Structure 1
Amino acid sequence: MMNMDWTLLSSEYLFRDNWLTARKDRCLTPQGNIVEPYYVLEYSDWVNAVALTEDNQVIMIRQYRQGVGRTLLEIPGGTMDKTDPSPEFAMERELLEETGYAFKELIPMGKVAANTASSNNYTHMFLATGGRKVKEQDLDDNEEIEVVLMSIPEVQQLLMDNKIIHSLHVTGLCYALLHLGKMEMK
């Protein structure tokens, strides 16, 4: 296989914030072409989980998403904090904060990248099982989250009807349903 990796010649940071960093790169392709500017968005890694209660109800959340200007039905998840020692730790923290549920088992489902062309981060996906409500939600100041319990068939139908639109959440749901034997690849 031929080497297709670019060589990074220089980077200039254009904007830095807790939630977003933007940089402008200058790169050299293996064929000798200079690519500039090439913009890259830097984010912390994200986590999400298909969370099942002890009686196999799927814990979904409803919240407003400014990017698309709509309230959406999603799976729990969020940004890894710099103090989180691992994606598993971050996921357990996010589940407890957003839903008030603790889980018996957290099964890694892999990681995916939202936009490999211009973003540097990954989303770590999990299946959380044996969920039991242990406390009330502990939400950030900018979060208003409604917890919605649904059956697996109800969630499957939402996917089939394209009612869950967050691509990283759809991916997590598909991996979890495959793991549970509730979805077939044809």
Structure 2
Amino acid sequence: MSSVHAYAVLDRVERFHGPIFSVVTDRVSMPGGGQADRDYVRHVGAVGVVPLDDDGRVLLVRQYRHPIGKVLWELPAGLVDVAGEPPPDTARRELAEEADLRCERLDLLLDLHTSPGFSDELIRLFLARGLSAVPEADRFERSDEEAELTVTWVPLDEAVAMVFRGEITNAAAVAGVLGAARARDEEWRPLRDPETPLVR
């Protein structure tokens, strides 16, 4: 039985550092004794929420994304950028900030490496049920791109169809919609405790 090569980082050069991500070049040991440079993005991480109401509808967000210059269908989501905040709390915060909703039940749906060919970003997706509106006085004031954010309730099966028609292309939204539909069809058995540790 052959052993798996340990891809040791021999050196790291930071090319850019910002509040959300940094860009680095790692010198990595390769099988056979060689070395190679690998450029990639180190990301703070994110959470996303699939809000599902009692009528089987999912809440989708329409938001402008500058890197591709388009408005996309997405899920409520946000960065893991509050020190010490557990991911379920981040999910509840983002649900309130982007969708003006609270939830009675939050389950872990899935973990997703969004683009592991060039980034270490991982987004943890939760399924939120038992939804209610955040009182008007407690609602978050959105700014910048989020000031034009709109939300739409879509039957979950129609959201699945939107994925296959190429209308939903955001990776987290695609995974969340398909994952929620599969979990529903399996009577929610695939869902996990929201505090489940990440598999490293």
Counterpart CA distance in 2 for 1:140 and 1:22 is 28
Amino acid at match of 2:100: G
Q: Deviations over 1:41-73 (max 9, x none)?
A: 111111112111244321111111112111111
Q: Name whichever structure is richer in helix by fraction.
A: 2
- State the shift of 1:120 in Å: 1.6
TM-score (norm 1): 0.89
5 Å-filtered alignment, 1:79-90, equals 79-90=79-90
Counterpart CA distance in 2 for 1:84 and 1:52 is 27
- Structure 2 contact 42–119 (Cα < 8 Å) conserved: yes
Say how many residue pairs are matched: 181
Counterpart CA distance in 2 for 1:101 and 1:84 is 23
- Structure 1 contact 88–106 (Cα < 8 Å) conserved: yes
5 Å-filtered alignment, 1:1-186, equals 1-36=2-37, 38-136=38-136, 137-142=139-144, 143=146, 144-181=148-185
- In structure 1, stretches of 5+ residues that fail to align are none
RMSD: 1.7
Q: Runs (4+) of structure 1 moved beyond 3 Å?
A: none
- Structure 1 contact 104–131 (Cα < 8 Å) conserved: yes
- In structure 2, stretches of 5+ residues that fail to align are 187-200
Identity %: 24
Amino acid at match of 2:16: F
Counterpart CA distance in 1 for 2:132 and 2:52 is 9
Of 26-35 and 130-139, the range deviating more from structure 2: 130-139
- Structure 1 contact 49–75 (Cα < 8 Å) conserved: yes
Counterpart CA distance in 1 for 2:84 and 2:100 is 19
Amino acid at match of 1:160: F
Counterpart CA distance in 2 for 1:135 and 1:163 is 32
TM-score (norm 2): 0.83
